[in-house]
Structures are given as structure tokens and as C-alpha cells.
Amino acid sequence: MAGRLEGKVAIITGAGTGIGESHARRFAQEGAAVVLADINLPAVQSIAGDIEKEGGKALAVKLDVSQKAEVEDAVKTTLDAFGKIDILVNNAGVFERIPSVELSEAEWDRDLNINLKGTFLCCQAVGRHMVERRQGKIVNTASVSASRGGPLGAAAYCAAKAGVLGLTRELAMEWARYGINVNAVSPGATITNMMKSHFEESGLDEQEHARKWIPLRRSNRPEDMTNAVLFLASSEAETITGHDIPVDGGISAVFVGRR
């Protein structure tokens, strides 16, 4: 049976571990040629090697999404290798917990540069190609933190992720006339290195947190995120644009506290 992304070419940023790694492996299984773009080149080389051993098509690219020249190089490398780009998944991100009274300007800039500007730079560079082809699917990664606050000191992250949602809606409208779908996903707690270090620093226990705060009483596995992203990246989502799918066990539907 043909995969859901047979013949497609997909760039996935932050594919070196966690949610992005899960996207890359699954997209390849679904028939896409996958470009794994990450600041950590050895990590993506190793995953690309696995994908190729399993008969898939993969290319590892070193990319810091906050650097415009690197983003443009990654797009060129992809076009040289595969001739087109059908799908962009902006997944690369960083999360730092710093109380707002202590947050330095450099720390604010770093967060916004990677989480928000990086998403824009990738959309822009790939979008130029998609506008020319008059087709394409872009899936951005926001967070439950885009629409809710918390007590743990993540002002820059929350602001950046809220920006990702605004950017998603705006690009969706700007590029709808070219047949380009731009959507977002908002992960809730998802078991990856990012979440583990956040929980360690905050002294939270993952299972206790899930029982107490998540209506479905469980965190996501990276694969839960991939199921939503795969849908938005596939032809099944042809008439969906400008939206965000929260994948969060119900957290964003709660009125007050957990139900």
C-alpha cells in the first residue's frame, strides 16, 4: 500500500531528537524523501543513516534556524538533492525557564530568534519556492504556552510561541491564493529531552503532573504529535489552513483546573 506522503519532499527542522525525530522517521515510512535539518549535525546524520538502511530517502543538513544564510543554504541543498519541496515542518525550538525579572536582553533575543524568527525565516525561504509552484504544506510548532501562562518563568517562550500562531494565520491568508496550506500544532507536555529537563529543573514528576493537570491523565509521546503533523502535511488536510491543533490531552479545553 502506498504511504500517505509517497513522492513528497519534506524538510523537518529540529529533527535530531524528540518530536522532530519522530516526524522524520514516520514521514520516511510514509514515502517522503526527508531532509533532517538540525543544529546538531551528528544527531541528524545518525537518524538519516537509519532511515536509509530501512530503504527510505533522507538527507541530513546542519542548520541553525535563526541564521538566514543557513536557512537559504538548506533550502538550496534540498532543491539540489530532490528538485522540489512539498512540505515544511518547523519544529526546531528551545525552552528556557528564567524568571522575568532576571531575563537578560540576550536571553530574550535568543528565545525569540530561534522559536519565532527561525520559524519565519524557514517559512519565507521555503515559501518563495512554494509560491512559485503554487502548492505546499507548512506546519509550524507552537505550544500550549502560546495561549496560557504559567508560574515558571517562560515569558520569552510564551511570547515567541504566541507569535508563531499569529505568523501561521497571517501566512495562511497571504498564501492561500497560491494553494499553500499553513497550519500549526500546539503540543502539550510531550516526553522528550526538552520536557525531561524542564520537569527536572522544576522538581515536577511527569506522571504526577499528568494525573493532576491533564484531563486525559497522560503526557504525549512524540508519536502523538507526529500523527497530527502528518495529517496536516498530507492531502487529507487540503482545505484546512490558518488553524492550530492542540495536542495536549485536553489542557486547552479546561475551564478551571483539571476535570
Ligand X SMILES: NC(=O)c1ccc[n+]([C@@H]2O[C@H](COP(=O)([O-])OP(=O)(O)OC[C@H]3O[C@@H](n4cnc5c(N)ncnc54)[C@H](O)[C@@H]3O)[C@@H](O)[C@H]2O)c1
Rule CB under 6 A: which residues touch ligand X? Answer: 13-14, 16-20, 38-40, 43, 63-66, 91-95, 114, 118, 141, 143, 187, 189-190, 192-195
Whose Cβ is closer to ligand X: residue 208's or residue 238's? 208
Q: Are strands 57-62 and 136-141 parallel, antiparallel or unpaired?
A: unpaired
Choice between 180 and 247, CB closer to ligand X: 247
CA distances to 102, 138, 192, 258 from 237, in Å: 43, 11, 27, 31
Smallest distance from ligand X to CB 66, Å: 5
Measured from the CB atom, the residue of 109 and 132 that comes closer to ligand X is: 109
Minimum gap (Å) between residue 152 Cβ and ligand X: 13
Looking at beta carbons only, is 133 or 196 nearer to ligand X?
196
Joined grid coordinates for residue 57:
530517502
Is residue 60 a contact partner of residue 48, using CB atoms and an 8 Å limit?
yes
Q: Minimum distance from CB of 138 to ligand X (Å)?
A: 14
> CA-CA distance, 164 to 13, in Å (whole number)?
15
Q: Which residues contact 132 (CB under 8 A, 6 or more apart)?
A: none
**Of 135 and 193, which has the nearer Cβ to ligand X?**
193
CB 113 within 8 A of CB 59: no
By three-state DSSP, how is residue 204 classified?
coil
Give the contacts of 47 (CB within 8 A, at least 6 positions apart). 15, 16, 21, 24, 25, 36, 58, 60
Q: What is the DSSP string of 47-108?
A: HHHHHHHTT-EEEEEE--TT-HHHHHHHHHHHHHHHS---EEEE---------TTT--HHHH
Cβ 179 to ligand X shortest distance, Å:
26
157 catalytically annotated: yes
Cα–Cα dist 92/89, whole Å:
9
Question: Closest distance between ligand X and the C-beta of residue 212, in Å?
Answer: 16
Residue tagged active-site, from 117, 157, 187, 241? 157
The nearer residue to ligand X, 5 or 229, going by C-beta atoms, is: 229
Find the radius of gyration of the CA atoms of the chain. Answer: 18
As measured in angstroms, the least distance from the Cβ of 177 to ligand X is 28
Q: Which residues participate in catalysis according to the annotation?
A: 157
